[in-house]
Amino acid sequence: MPLVLMLLLFAVEQAVYAADLFPTPEFSNHPIPQSQTPAPRPSWQEYLDLAFLTAALAAASFLAVKGRSRTGLFLLSIVSLAWLGFWRKGCVCPIGAIQNVAQALFDKDYAAGGMVIAVFVLPLVFTLFFGRSFCASVCPLGAVQELVAVRPVQIPTWIDHALGLLAYIYLGAAALFAATGSAWIICRYDPFVGLFRLTSSAAMLALSVGFLGVGLFIGRPYCRWLCPYGAILALLSRVSWRHLKIPPKQCVQCRLCEDACPYGAILRPTVVLSPVERMAARRRLIVVLCAAPLLIATGALLGFGMRSSLANMHPTVQLAEQIRLEETGWVKTRSDATEAFRGTGESVESLSASADKVLEKFGLGGCLFGGWVGLVFAVKVTQLSLRRRRTDYEPDRSACVSCGRCLWYCPEEHPRQEFIQIQSIYNMP
Amino acid sequence: MSHGESPITRRRMLGDATRYVALGGIGSLSAWLFYKQSGQAAAACPSSGSTCDECSQAAGCRLPRIWQLDPNRCIACGRCQTNCVLDLSAVKAVNCFALCGYCDNCTGYFPTKDYVLDTGAENQLCPTGAIARKYIEKQGGVPYFEYTIDESLCIACGKCVVGCRLMNGSLYLQVRHDRCLNCNECSIAVACPAEAFRRVLVDSPRLLSRAAQAAEEALARKRGASTNPPATRKSSIERKEEAS
């Protein structure tokens, strides 16, 4: 028998695709079954998710702007966490949809699905009108961090500002790698999705535990300093039509909201500057504005210089490099990837040609990414040099996630919410 | 709230203008994305030339896309077993019965080394015993067996696929969509060394190897028009490959 088998194996090598090597027999009393294909998830489920997202966004916006209910927002965030997080396993989410959109914008062979586009756009529109209500109680990643923030401490403003830049850089990097078709880094390094699926690799588990552990004492570390979608929402929220307001009528300048906010999102009233200080501030602004183009140009140059190391994220470039190393004899062992490539029968020349094309894309992409990082720094420094006059404590529209904690602390809010029994402080003489 | 009461300031006007410009930007972005999606759907159309109204599968073109593994590229390396985000992978081995030889000494069932024709667990190639071997009948003194995969036991290690490729190659790996979470970035696709994963339309979720495709079509022809096989639609990638 083994000898027969050996002969057969030899025959197989002779004719790789000879399908009738062993013809399927015709049985007297046994039909050949059809291999079964289980049905995919019905598409009405996606529409249900979209309906939930819309309803949750509307509810969160109402609770933040009109209802002013921290309890409501908190309960809604638990519902969202259960639905979008644990039931739907956190996919597809608006944060990850950035990559679908970026790739659809730049890659002519890729188009984002209708559901992904809707999931990406809906929270943007709601943010333009009502502030970051998505972050408040719809996003499952935000919700899980909101739940664990039990002992939040205040972070020095300069650390908050500096780390906040990371989100914009991450956004740029995610867009670059998605647009070039290299990798979807937001999904790959999502620290909480493993929690929703109750399974993850050891490294990602460590990251999840790390973020949750830090989140006990530092409110929403991912949202504030890393979330690329939060970065977009922060920009849009600046010009939102309505936004959560802390005092219902008049601010009594008690500072309680500032102490209560775990996210450093309350702006203090400004102090009046002396003419000398004002002159110095103005001079600083001029210097910063002049330095901005320099920052952008430097960033673009650095990004262009880094193009080949950035391009290493692309699987084709990696494969071409591996093949090159094997062809030149630097690497003796062959990997599965190179074996698979050789199995397809494509030529090494065409592979290195497509790798070169990717590298070319990264020339422009690296330039744009570097320029973006430069722009982010320039805008931040300019923003720090600008002074706005404020007389009251206000939520910082870009940083505020409308969690509503401050509403629990505002003394003006207490009688309105009937936390304390005063007839009406507004009607007092 | 107090919007109506405050006087119109330059700052507020700028804010309003920026808001509506941003809204217009988002609107045109999504319009363009939807336009591109419908363009791609048209490219994947099975009956290009005729209008959507005439086509019975018109609704299918705009359906969502899901991950599938192309058996023509798959090297059955076993990464599907370990890289899926699910504890038990969404990928399973499937037998294409139309291509299967119903061999007694199946190289997908028995190991080729230290080979004993005995169905004891130690003699099976499958580490979980997920392949059921069932005697069918004897023809010309040769016994024939049917090999069916118990998907609840299959772990997508691909050992049987590698073994079967020595013979007919009827066993192949497929993403099972009743289990697949359809992640935005499939983590098996990231790990796949052969770049065998791609997105297919939700109404034609199966990808067959060329041999299996031919065998299924031949079987369907043999059976006649009484049992129509499910229409296998070519994806846009395949159409492009054929065109070039």
Of B163, B84, B39, B20, residue with least CA distance to A108: B39
pLDDT of A13: 47
How far apart CA A374 and CA A92 sit, in angstroms, is 31
- All residues at 6 or more sequence positions from A230 whose CB lies less than 8 Å from its CB, including other chains: A132, A135, A167, A223, A224, A401
Query: B75–A92: do the CB atoms touch at under 8 Å?
Result: no
pLDDT of A354: 93
pLDDT of B233: 46
pLDDT of A56: 97
pLDDT of A273: 85
Q: Read off the pTM.
A: 0.86
How far apart CA A160 and CA A263 sit, in angstroms, is 9
**Residue type for A363, please?**
G
Of B156, B160, B159, residue with least CA distance to B147: B160
Q: Could you report the average pLDDT of every consecutive run of 10 residues in chain A (429 residues)? A: 48 46 83 83 84 96 92 95 92 92 89 89 96 95 94 92 95 96 92 89 91 94 95 95 89 89 91 89 92 96 94 93 91 88 88 94 95 96 87 91 90 76 56
Percent of chain A with pLDDT over 70: 93
Q: Which residue does chain A place closest to B140, by CA atoms?
A: A25
Residue A104 sits at the vertex; the CA angle it makes with A103 and A109, to the nearest 5 degrees, is 95
- The SS3 assignment for B47 reads coil
Q: Which residue does chain A place closest to B16, by CA atoms?
A: A239
Interface A:B, Cβ pairs < 8 A: 195
Strand partners for B66: B200
Q: A283: phi > 0 → left, psi -120 to 50 → alpha, else beta; which?
A: alpha
Cα-Cα-Cα-Cα torsion B234, B240, B241, B244, nearest 10 degrees, comes to 140
- Per the listing, tokens 């927002």 go with A73
Task: Count the residues in chain B.
Answer: 244
- At residue B58 the predicted structure's pLDDT band, cuts being 50, 70 and 90, is very low
A111 vs B15, B36, B177: nearest CB: B36
- Per the listing, tokens 């691909």 go with B158
pLDDT of A395: 92
H/E segment holding residue A296: helix A275-305
Chain B environment of A199 (Cβ under 8 Å): 85-87
Residue B58 distance to chain A (closest CA, Å): 15
Is any Cβ of chain A less than 8 angstroms from the Cβ of B162? no
How far apart CA A257 and CA A260 sit, in angstroms, is 5
In the predicted structure, residue B56 carries a pLDDT above the cut 90: no
Per-residue pLDDT tens over the stretch A175-187: 999 999 999 999 9
In the predicted structure, residue B16 carries a pLDDT above the cut 50: yes
Model ipTM value? 0.83
Query: A96–B94: do the CB atoms touch at under 8 Å?
Result: no
Is any Cβ of chain B less than 8 angstroms from the Cβ of A203? no
Read off the tokens for A35.
Answer: 């291999």
Per-residue pLDDT tens over the stretch B201-225: 877 788 998 888 888 888 888 887 5
Question: Would strands B131-139 and B91-95 be described as parallel, antiparallel, or unpaired?
Answer: unpaired
Q: Which residue does chain B place closest to A22, by CA atoms?
A: B101
Per-residue pLDDT tens over the stretch A55-110: 999 999 999 999 899 999 999 999 999 999 999 888 889 999 999 999 999 988 88
Residue B50 distance to chain A (closest CA, Å): 23
- At residue B1 the predicted structure's pLDDT band, cuts being 50, 70 and 90, is very low
pLDDT of B239: 47
pLDDT of A12: 46
pLDDT of A358: 94
